[in-house]
Structure 1
Amino acid sequence: MSEAEASAGNWRLDWPVSAGARVASAHLKTAPEDFRVGEVLEEFPEQAEPSSVPGVAGEGEHLCLRLEKTGDNTEFVAGELATLAGCRSFDVGFCGLKDRHAVTSQWFSLYRPGMMEEDTALIAQISERWPVKSACRSVRKLRRGDHQGNHFTIRLRQISADRDVVESALERLKIQGAPNYFGPQRFGFGGGNLDRAIHIDPSALNRRGGQGKRRGRGKPGGGRDGRKNVLYFSAARSWLFNEVLASRVAEGSWRTPLPGEPTETATGPLWGDGGTSASSEAGQRERDTVAQTPELASLFMTTRMKPERRPLVAMPEGLSWSWLDDGGLELDFFLQPGQYATTILSDIFELEDMSLSHHNK
């Protein structure tokens, strides 16, 4: 993408796929039940529903609950839990954001020191809003990325291609994985988060809110505006990664590490102060790609964000599938944290998200 195109807000939000073209179109999220996500957190094994056991197992200041939700996003549920539990929103922890238009199961932690005797009553109150599938006590708050990953069961409808064509593509996906792009939802409608990112004062990302850690929670530029800036900053970083990955996909090198990559597997840059930790051929290619969008690259010149790496390949573990009687396709697989199911499927299918049309109505 040229500098002129980026300045006009014409951000690329659909990147090259591994086979050069998608083999079929399909409907996604025709109903919430067609998109099921189960968070895997080995620290808290599956257990009986709390209503069938006396009390809550474990010890610690945090009450941890595995909830099943439909139609609510993670941050909304976290806010409601804080209200029900009578704690600060900051005292509610979770491992990652889950889809709103889906049936999702995930863990939340509530900071409730010295209140173990009240757990049962609180769980009963929460159960009136969302099914509580498991409960335990823990010594620590849940934080982003604490989980091992997510298990997906997804049904696609209205598939346009013949079964043998789709199955051949799925076999390829099972063996080689898919490009590990960040999903387009990260960039906002039409890339709006990127439009806002280019107007951020980079130095503001290094400043805390007026009340320090208490108000800003230790994040750059604390407070509401600071949180928005971090969101836009993250979008810029993710988009630059996608652009580097897209160049590797286009030339067919996305699964093989280049000279100068700091890891033994193929990775791409999460841009930071100093740009990239890659050197030699890999580092030069990454700098050349990022230099094509100087408005975003300039965000990282004065921040203290350390460069990081992200795998270029997303591998759906245990991928299996079956055809439904109505011609739909059900897929079952596991993904590591930070990998997107829709990104994996979009390497094969041109997806139409039906939940968007339902929401607009």
Structure 2
Amino acid sequence: MAPRDLDSLRRAALSPSRAHADLPGIGGCIRCRPEDFEVEELPAYGADGQPGHLLLTLRKRAMNSEDALLALSRALKVPRAEIGLAGLKDRDAVTTQWISLPQQALPRLASFSHPAITLGAPSPHSHKLRRGHLGGNRFCVVVRELQLDAGELAARVEAKLDHLGRVGLRNYYGEQRFGAGARNVAPGLASLAGKRRVKGKGDLVVSAGQSALFNLYLATRASRGQIDAVLAGDILQKRATGGLFECE
């Protein structure tokens, strides 16, 4: 990919067009402190009570998920590869997520202590938690330094919600998906094209490339007025059953 094309893709990934750009925003500041952005992971299922692993929550502050799991690995003396999680969570936030530990970690759990990590009570579970095994995420976001009076604030929020209710949400990936300065976009695209093998955090790099392409595709559909159109090759979902099928 030519450098000019790569720069265009980075810009599209980081600054996608907004569906409601003509509506005034509310201003203010988000993420002034970690407590202003809270994430709670919703589990896809509960512990089954069978031996083998432990299912528990991990609450962290101003720390990314991988660093938290490495801290657990060192303290509990279990290999990092044996610790499971359903998804990565934001660094500059207070987040609660589900993880799994091998059962042999149980004796050391009571003495675990870390200034940025709090662990919930463990329950026996038969298998390691895998990526994607979550029901979703619940967010609580604090907006500070608002300059609008209550009436104007409510009116602008209601206008935005009404617009979203009519046209839907363009679910772009946020900048945290791409690394600082979108540095993971280029190696991610190279990996997808089979031109580069990524070691270490390869899944994160590949995900950055996939997400950048998704943002670019979504922005292109929007610019062509095709957001509400159904095109051949689109994956559609039945509302009644949740079943997926390809449009032909």
Pairwise TM-score range, normalised by the shorter structure? 0.7 to 0.9
Residues 1:175 and 1:74: Cα distance change in structure 2 (over 3 Å): farther
1:11 Cα shift? Answer: 2.3
8 Å CA contact retained: 1:85, 1:110: no
CA distance in 1, matches of 2:33, 2:23: 23
Give the paired residue count: 234
Could you say what secondary structure the match of 2:28 adopts?
strand
* Equivalent in the alignment of 2:20: 19
* Equivalent in the alignment of 2:242: none
Could you say what secondary structure the match of 2:128 adopts?
coil
CA distance in 2, matches of 1:201, 1:165: 41
* Equivalent in the alignment of 1:194: 185
1:18 Cα shift? Answer: 1.2
1:27 Cα shift? Answer: 1.0
1:44-63 aligned within 5 A: 44=46, 58-63=49-54
* Equivalent in the alignment of 1:6: 5
1:67 Cα shift? Answer: 2.0
Residues 1:40 and 1:83: Cα distance change in structure 2 (over 3 Å): same
- TM-score, normalised relative to structure 1: 0.57
8 Å CA contact retained: 2:23, 2:160: no
The percentage of counterpart residues that share the same residue type is 29
Q: Does 1:142 align with 2:115?
A: no
User: 1:89 aligned to 72, 75, 80, which one?
Assistant: 80
1:159-308 aligned within 5 A: 159=146, 162-163=152-153, 164-174=155-165, 176-197=167-188, 202-203=193-194, 221=197, 225-264=198-237
8 Å CA contact retained: 1:95, 1:145: yes
1:181 Cα shift? Answer: 0.9
CA distance in 1, matches of 2:131, 2:175: 20
Give the letter aligned to residue 23 of structure 1. Answer: P
CA distance in 2, matches of 1:38, 1:151: 5
Residues 1:10 and 1:23: Cα distance change in structure 2 (over 3 Å): same
Unaligned runs of 5+ in 1: 46-56, 206-220, 266-276, 281-361
Give the letter aligned to residue 67 of structure 1. Answer: L
Q: Does 1:122 align with 2:108?
A: yes
Residues 1:142 and 1:180: Cα distance change in structure 2 (over 3 Å): same
After superposition, the C-alpha distances for 1:10-32 in whole angstroms (9 at most, x for unaligned) are 72120111123462233111122
Residues 1:104 and 1:253: Cα distance change in structure 2 (over 3 Å): same
8 Å CA contact retained: 1:9, 1:195: no
- TM-score, normalised relative to structure 2: 0.79
8 Å CA contact retained: 1:27, 1:156: yes
CA distance in 1, matches of 2:3, 2:62: 39
Quote the RMSD (CA, aligned, Å).
3.1
8 Å CA contact retained: 2:192, 2:209: no
Residues 1:22 and 1:194: Cα distance change in structure 2 (over 3 Å): farther
1:70 Cα shift? Answer: 0.9
Unaligned runs of 5+ in 2: 239-244
Could you say what secondary structure the match of 1:109 adopts?
strand
CA distance in 2, matches of 1:200, 1:67: 32
Residues 1:127 and 1:58: Cα distance change in structure 2 (over 3 Å): farther
* Equivalent in the alignment of 1:38: 40
1:259 Cα shift? Answer: 4.0
After superposition, the C-alpha distances for 1:45-91 in whole angstroms (9 at most, x for unaligned) are 8xxxxxxxxxxx92221112212211111111111111122111100
8 Å CA contact retained: 1:64, 1:108: yes
Could you say what secondary structure the match of 1:134 adopts?
coil
Give the letter aligned to residue 81 of structure 1. Answer: L
Could you say what secondary structure the match of 1:97 adopts?
coil
Residues 1:231 and 1:31: Cα distance change in structure 2 (over 3 Å): closer
- The answer to which of 67-76 and 4-13 deviates more is 4-13
